[in-house]
Structure formats: C-alpha cells, structure tokens
Structure 1
Amino acid sequence: MSSSPVAPRSVPARASDARPSLTVLSGFWPEAVREVAGTLLARDPALLVVRHEIHDDHVRRTVRSGAGVLEDVRVELVHTCVTCTLREDVLPTVARLAAAHPDRDLVVHLPELAEPEMLADAWPESVRVDSYVTVVDGEHVLDALGTDEDLAALGLAGDDERTLAELVVRQIEYADTLVVHGDADGRVRALLHRLAPWAARAGAGELRRHTHRHRPETPAVLARGLEGFALGVHEPAPENDVVSAVFRARRPFHPGRLHDALDEINESVLRSRGHFWLAGQPETVIAWEFAGGSLGLRSLGRWLTAVPDAEWDLASDQRRLAAAMDWDPYYGDRHHHLVFIGLELDAAALHRRLTGCLLTDAELAEGEAGWRRLPDPMAGAFGTP
C-alpha cells in the first residue's frame, strides 16, 4: 500500500489568447436554443453560427452570420452514432471557418441529442472554447428529468438506449452557464442549482460571450470528486421540495448489502452521482451515475493507494494533490463521495441506509484478506484493476 502521493508540479499562468472564441450551445429543446443563438447573432452580426440538424438519413449543416445563410449543406449520415457524426463534420467545419475567418468568433449549436462532453477533447487548436452553454425549457425540464423512457422508445432515436433524463441531466451538468428559457418556478430553479452548482445562470436575453468560464482542466463530472472538486451541495433542508444530500465515508461498502439496497437508495432520487469502493474490490474506483430510473456503475481506474509509487505520475496533478490533502494512514485515498438530488427526499433516512451498507467494526477487523471473501454480487463487473 502506497504511503502518500507527492505534491503536484506547478502550472504556468495562462497567456492571453487571440484565437477565435467558441461558444458551444446545447439543449434538448431546439427552438429555445435557436432563439438564444439568434440573440447572440443580433448583438454581433460578425458571428459565425454553425448548426447541425440530424435527420433519419442525413445531417443538415448551416452556417449563418448577420448577413444571412453562408452555407446550407446536406451531409450523408454514415453513422447512427450522433457523436461520431458530429466529430466527422462539426470539428472540421469549425477548423475550416476559424482558418478562413481568424477575426470572427463562432457559436456551435449542437443537435438536441448531443452531449457536449463527448466533443470536449476534440475541438481544433485554432479556436478557444469560451463557454459551454446549456439552454433548458423552464416549463418542461422537470418532466424530462422525471421520465424513465429511453430515446428510442420516445421515437427520438432509432436504437439509442439513453433515457431522456440521462441526456438532459448530462447537458445540464457539463455546462458552465445555464440559460433558462421561458417560465421556471422556484422548484425548477432550485433543482438546476443543485444539479449544476458550478454553473452561472442567465435568462434567454442575458447571455454574454467572452466570459472565459470554460476551464479545460476541470475533469468530467463523474471524476470531479476524485480531483478534489465539489460534486454537489449538501442542502438537506428542502427548498421548494428540492433536496441535495452529500454522503462521504471512509470504510468500504459491504458488496452484498449495498447491492440489495440499491433500489431503495435511489427510490426518491432524480439524480445521483459520484464514486465509491467495495470491500471485495478494494483496488477499484467505481463510478456511480443514476438518472431516469437507471443506475450505471463502472470502473474509474485504480485508487492511488493500490498502485506502485512509480505509477503515481500517471495520475493528473490535481488528482494527486486532492489525494495528498485527504490521505488516510489506513485507507489511503479510498473513500465514498456521492451526491443525491430529489424532490421531498429524506436525507437523514438516506444517510442511515447508506451507513448501514458500510462494513461493521467486526467485518472491518478482518482486513483486506477477509473482505475479499465476502459474497459479492458485483464481482467481475468492473474488469480487472
């Protein structure tokens, strides 16, 4: 077991960036997103607004400026994968426009089924991503988050097994700016704050560019806790019925007790996310993601305490710093960090249920050799560490 990760290296200060600025607009409600894009274009007619509409057998790409439509092109749909299609056309289009017009900023209006995180690592170096903006319909977002139907069943995508709630919540959480379109009551506003407390909020006519809100070093949502970033806010007292509860603990979950309690744990939850560890698989960081009635668990790699010291440099500087700041002499960097968000959620009862899934003192005293002998319904589910 490793002792403690070394401190990270210093990061040089950012230099000024004269590249064209890119604003990425996402949202499940295309009319609302289109209105926001139109508002930005009206303020700055020199903007280049790139929009992709995905149809059954083709993609329609349009490029607009304040002078009108500059491009209107039909692109044959080779993949049923939305992300694959976008990578093959959106990215080279942005690179081409930035090269041809280095003095003009860009806005990319993604299709309604696109998750912005899927493109985050692929934008051309010729542009500077300024902000990821998600537009939500204030009157309908709560219904979308509460549904457990997948996109295929809703007739929105042929074989897409993502639920509508998963799509919408991922669009919301990746944003550094949320724009609420239309009327939104106090419950919706409280829910959006708890889903993405790191995001600034603006009305449809209030959005500004050149905010420099995007931070490329910020990790993906499910890895935020490992890197020392906030996963959510602990506000167990209801605000307009909305509750957000953070659960943190050191000792591992008993795999059998946790498995048996999963349905009950998420019974009143709209969204839960984070990471945890199991006694029977002590090397593995396990991601937890629940939305739309579906719980996804997958490996996020290995805990630093489970890898040789020589491999610590393979982790990010921020991951190593976060581990060093919270290192435990016995557990190392292993811990649980989970956030649960719901309506009329009983935070105290949820905490008791999760605590009941932790190893008891007697089970803990058996040590790792004993933990590995515990019945584990999830054995082998996360691959070989």
Structure 2
Amino acid sequence: MVLVSGWTGAMDAVVTSLLAPGTVAVRHDLSRVAEGVVRRTLSVLGENPRETILELAHGCVSCTLREDLLPLLRALSARSNVDRIVLAMDPALEPEALCWAVDNVVVAGVVGQIDGPASRDVRIEAVVDCLDAATWLADATGDDAMADRGIVASGDDDRTVAQLVVGQVDYADALVVTAGPDVDAWERARLAAVLARLAPNAPVVWVSRDAMVDARALLASVPADARRGAITDAHSPLLRGQPPLAVDCGVTLVEFTATRPFHPERLHEAIDVLLDGVVTARGRAWVATQPDEALWIESAGGGLRVASAGKWLAAMEPEQQDRVDAT
C-alpha cells in the first residue's frame, strides 16, 4: 500500500501516475464527517470511479478508519486482481495515525479472514507527501486551527494546520513539491532547507502546477532504510537520518541539552520566546516538580503539545528496567 498525503499540492497527479493494472486507488472525503457522512471513491485504471456514500453512527475520523477504511483494506487485499492499494488521504487524516491503526486496530468480521489488524494483509510500501511551495512554510509556522480553514475531523479536534502539515512532511518517505512562477528562487531555497532537515532521507521532486508526476520513479528512489509506516515513540532518536547541520537560508537545527531540570514556571514563561520563528521542536524535558517523569514536548508553528513519556530509566525499579526494550 502507498499512502499519499497532503494539505495542498499534487495529490491527484501522484495518484493518477500510480494507477496501473492491479492497482486500486481509495479516497475518503471527510468534509462532512462531523455530520456522520463520508464519501468514499474507488478508482481503477480504465474504469469510471465508483462512489459510495457512508453514513456513520458517530461522525469522526477514528470511526471512519475503524468502520470502513481498515475493513476495506483487508477486503481489497483478498482480491486476486489487486496487487497494490493507493490511499489518497483526506487532509484531515495524518499518515502516522493511520499507520498506527493499520498495525494495531483489530478488524473483525471480514468474510474468509482471521480477525486481526490490517497489517496481516497489507504492507506499507511508502508514504508520499504533497505540498505547495507557495503556502507550506506559512502554514507550517502559523497558528491557524484546522477549524479556521473549515476542516473539522471531530467535535473535539483542536489540531492546528501547522501540526498537520509539519507532521505530514516529517513522516514522509518521499516528497512532491509544487512550485509555480509565484515562488522565487529564495523562497524555494529556504523551503528546500527546511525539508532537508525535517525529512533528510526523503527524495524530493519539484514540479510545476498541473505538471505530470512520475510517482513510480519517485517510489523507486526511496531508500531501503526509509520508515515505510514504522511507528516511533517519545524515547526514539530525536533526529532521523543525517540532516544538514550547517545554516542554510537562515534555517538551522538547534540542540539544547542540560544536566539540570527545568523550573516549570520559567519554562512556561519562556515557551513563546523559545518557539518564535521555529518550524518544529521536539524533545524530552526534565522538570523539577516531576523529577521521575519524562515529559514529551512537541511543537509545530504556533501549536504545542506536552505529554507524559513515562518514567526515566534512572527512576525505574530494576524489574521495570528489565521490561524496557533495549533498542
């Protein structure tokens, strides 16, 4: 399975390029998911697209995945005439969340198949992200909520556009960047510098608007050690691949380490200053008021997420340390 994500960009061109005998393209339109209505389209080379209107008891992204998309993936994989599934993701869907669901959500009731996750039947070949050079960097550094752009994945969806677009690039195995004549050389170079640090191993194809995309050649250039849907956690390496460490067009990686814990109030007061002009930040924080707990801090544009990452190894009992994955 190939996942094609993107807030804007050449998604349609990528999907069209990948259509071939034995390939089926799946798209879910979630623009009315809050009303409990989802439009699903299946496309096969040489045939008219088949559209189905789904009515969900509860209108949300997770319901769409659980009740339709994941069972559909298992059902399609059982067809003898289907070798590859191309999933054209709605902008409200995040590829990392979908890959987690493919590996972990049990799908039951598929005729002729044992209950289990969709990963029993499908393997993620690559995640391709599409973006528009004219708007991506402004979206990635802004603080607009998705609801401000008319995208509501569920009643409690408080994600920002920045969190979505940065997460899509960060998780991608390959990138397709649309750059029209309104994008000058400096803007293109600055965006290229950001992408090289967010997704250093991902091959990048720059195309003009309405241009053809050779997505098959792009997939062939994805390195063997690409993520391909693998899930990481808060204790995984903070840097993946070998991103450039030098300054380029004012873009650089900054590392902060300390042997003393943060003062929680001072950290809170400094957050706005620390994240000013930052595309994304992520790391583990040691806070004086919770010395045994590792906190995960992740930002994108004006959006910030702080969550528990569990205990530090040094704070664990020996039997707890024995249960920790050594890798």
Deviations 1:271-292 (CA, angstroms, capped at 9, x unpaired): 1112121122121111111123
Confirm or deny that 1:200 pairs with 2:209: no
Partner amino acid, structure 2, of 1:147: G
Aligned partners of 1:233 and 1:244 also within 8 Å: no
Aligned partners of 2:296 and 2:306 also within 8 Å: yes
Deviations 1:304-359 (CA, angstroms, capped at 9, x unpaired): 111111122432231xxxxxxxxxxxxxxxxxxxxxxxxxxxxxxxxxxxxxxxxx
> How big is the shift at 1:214?
4.9
Counterpart selection for 1:36 from 14, 29, 32: 14
The TM-score normalised by the length of structure 1 is: 0.69
Deviations 1:230-263 (CA, angstroms, capped at 9, x unpaired): 2587767531222221223333223333223222
Counterpart selection for 1:132 from 127, 134, 140: 127
Give the match for residue 49 of structure 1.
25
Partner amino acid, structure 2, of 1:34: D
Matches for 1:294-373 after TM superposition, within 5 Å: 294-318=303-327
Between the two proteins, the alignment pairs up a number of residues equal to 291
| Cα 1:231–1:63 shift into 2, 3 Å | same
Structure 1 unaligned regions, length at least 5? 1-21, 319-385
Structure 2 unaligned regions, length at least 5? 103-117, 208-212
| Cα distance in 1, alignment partners of residues 6 and 246 from structure 2 | 29
SS at match of 1:61: strand
Larger radius of gyration: 1
SS at match of 1:93: helix
SS at match of 2:77: helix
| Cα distance in 2, alignment partners of residues 213 and 231 from structure 1 | 11
SS at match of 1:238: coil
Confirm or deny that 1:165 pairs with 2:168: no
Aligned partners of 1:197 and 1:233 also within 8 Å: yes
Give the match for residue 227 of structure 1.
236
| Cα 1:169–1:126 shift into 2, 3 Å | same
| Cα distance in 2, alignment partners of residues 213 and 53 from structure 1 | 32
| Cα 1:131–1:92 shift into 2, 3 Å | same
> How big is the shift at 1:217?
8.5
> How big is the shift at 1:227?
2.7
Confirm or deny that 1:177 pairs with 2:174: yes
Give the match for residue 189 of structure 2.
186
| Cα distance in 2, alignment partners of residues 247 and 305 from structure 1 | 21
Give the match for residue 110 of structure 2.
none
The TM-score normalised by the length of structure 2 is: 0.80
| Cα distance in 1, alignment partners of residues 236 and 325 from structure 2 | 8
Give the match for residue 146 of structure 1.
141
SS at match of 2:54: strand
Identity of aligned residues (%): 35
| Cα 1:155–1:219 shift into 2, 3 Å | closer
| Cα 1:232–1:215 shift into 2, 3 Å | closer
Give the match for residue 299 of structure 2.
290
| Cα distance in 1, alignment partners of residues 173 and 305 from structure 2 | 24
Deviations 1:14-43 (CA, angstroms, capped at 9, x unpaired): xxxxxxxx11111112x62111101111xx
> How big is the shift at 1:50?
0.9
